[in-house]
A and B are shown apart, each in its own frame.
Chain A
Amino acid sequence: MTPPNMPDATSDWYLSDNEPGHLDGHTIEELNDYLDRGRVPANLSIDTSPACQIALASLERLSSAMSSLLQDEADRADVRDDSWVTAIMDGIVRDARSGRDIPLEHPSPHARLFVTEGAVRGLVRAAGDTVANLIVGRCRLDGDLATPGAPITIAINASIYRGESIPALAEQLRQTVAAALSAHTELTIAAIDVTIQNIYLTRHDPEIGQDTP
């Protein structure tokens, strides 16, 4: 019988850095354009790539978050450092890669069940992006993913809106991500480390039409 539930050491995770700016042959700019065109005409290569689909979902959430920025923030673009947006898009590309295969348990000796690292990172990003006033920049799974039950650490970088409580948002992010991972995976989470890397954003409050705070 084929060897037991061990990840394939020749999988894309080990080869992905050959094209560091690409996801299955597509750049983040191409994916952004595809999103802007309403995914028309359909691109089979993008539509059948899980990495591209994860990246597109992240880009949609980022676009939604960006739309809440004030116009005057955009007007100040010439004096503002926009590198955080570029960093988030780079993070989307890195996180969407398939990465390592993480085994899932099944009693049958014939079963080889896995969830990809890219799917888990996509899950973490999606869960994190549901936390109000916060955008996930990058997420990383540290540890031995190939051994069921081995404790791993989740490292998340995020940006938050100016004036928000960093400890409160970080804790909310931890709880949200932990719940999502518990619901979908069998990972043993030793810690979820949150780093708030940027506080660039100004939230628009439509009720009063002003920056807050």
Chain B
Amino acid sequence: MTDTTALAADLETAVRAVPGVSTLYPTAPLLATIVGAVVDAITTRTVSPPLVSVSNGHAGLSVSARIGVADTKSAASVSRLVYDTIAANPAIRAAEPIDTISVTVASID
């Protein structure tokens, strides 16, 4: 079974490094993110909830990211670059099968 938390953190770093990505937004509602952080505190885990979500389903691994794109880059091109970056991540390739990789451009700054 894939360690989705570690993988999500790894992917978050990779997505942030994609040229044109200005922001990474939570994929879960903020309330759920905050609750997740509280649970982490209670269990003395220090990790913050990852901004890239990774889940295991019956059809395989699903990855989701919501990004802001700098106005100097094409939003469509950056979204494809983010997809390609996630798909090419060694941990993702090792974790196949992949169900979906979702990338949503939520703002163009």
Contact = CB atoms under 8 A, between A and B. Distances in A.
Contacts of A118: 106-107
B100 A115 contact: no
Interface string B33-69: 1100000000000000000000001011010001011
B7 interface: no
Minimum-distance CB pairs A-B, first 6: A50-B106, A112-B102, A184-B75, A115-B105, A50-B107, A114-B104
Given A44-B30, A48-B26, A123-B108, A183 B74 contact: yes
Interface residues of B, number: 33
B81 to A, nearest CB: 11
Contacts of B76: 104, 113, 115, 184-186
A2 B100 contact: yes
Interface string A38-80: 0000001100111001100100000000000000000000000
A119 B74 CA distance: 13
A2 B75 contact: no
Contacts of A123: 71, 75, 108
A145 B77 CA distance: 19
Contact of A119 (B30, B98, B103, B105): B105
Interface in A184-206: 184-186
A21 to B, nearest CB: 19
Interface in A101-123: 101, 104, 106, 108, 110-116, 118-120, 122-123
B99 interface: yes
Contacts of A134: none
A191 to B, nearest CB: 21
A93 interface: no
A110 B87 contact: yes
B85 interface: no
Contact of B71 (A126, A185, A186): A126
Contacts of A54: 107
A159 interface: no
Given A104-B80, A185-B75, A113 B107 contact: no
Given A111-B83, A112-B100, A122 B30 contact: no
A145 to B, nearest CB: 14
